[in-house]
Amino acid sequence: MTQQPQLPEPEKVKQTVTQMREVCRQFDSLNFALDELIAQIEADIRNSPLTAYRLGKIQPVSQATESEIGIK
């Protein structure tokens, strides 16, 4: 014959649910912090001179210097 699984005590279930909710809250907090960090890093990348150079928004230093002194 098979044994019926025993149900856990209601107090134990309540403690486990409380702990799981706390873990979920901590994960939510961590995800929020990571989202803020990603946004800061993306802003730094957008404001980077290297990004502007790669997108062709600024001239390379060597070309700017040559054009300023009239070298071709």
Express each pLDDT in 26-62 by its tens digit. 999 999 999 999 999 999 998 888 888 888 877 766 6
DSSP letters for 21-43? HHHHHHHHHHHHHHHHHHHHHHH
pTM score, two decimals? 0.59
Q: What is the pLDDT of residue 28?
A: 98
Answer yes or no: is pLDDT of 68 > 60: no
Cβ-contact 66, 72 below 8 angstroms: yes
